[in-house]
Copies of this chain bind each other. A is one copy, B any other.
Amino acid sequence: MAIKDVSAAFRALSDPIRRDILKKLRKRSMTPSELAIHFPISKPSLSHHLNILKNANLIDDERQGQKIYYSLNATVFYDVMNNFLNNFR
């Protein structure tokens, strides 16, 4: 999956909580409940942030029973950055 919307990607990255979520997911996939431990916001708010990251194609999700595992979509992540940087080289 390629870059759908550069604006959405940058907007997603403009929030420190969302950048921290990506940093957590860099190490391993995590569920919303696992992530929630690290952030001082309600679960609906966390869900909202995850949705924004997902719509920007920066993360993927996969349900396993009751749990949903979110993971970093490194490909799109680099695509956004590199495509953008190439415009300025």
Binding site for B on A (CB under 8 A): 6-7, 10-11, 13-16, 19, 22-23, 26, 72, 74, 77-78, 81, 84-85, 87-88
Q: Name the B residues within 8 Å of A87 (CB-CB).
A: 23, 26
Q: State whether B7 touches A15 (Cβ < 8 A).
A: yes
Count of this chain's copies in the oligomeric assembly: 2
Q: How far is the CA of A39 from the CA of B45 in the complex (A)?
A: 36
Main secondary structure of the interface of A (DSSP, over half): helix
In the complex, what's the smallest C-beta–C-beta distance from A71 to chain B, in angstroms? 13
Contacting residues, chain B, for A19 (C-beta < 8 A): 6, 84
Could you tell me the distance in whole angstroms from the C-beta of A13 to the nearest C-beta in chain B?
Answer: 4
A72, closest chain B residue (CB)? B88
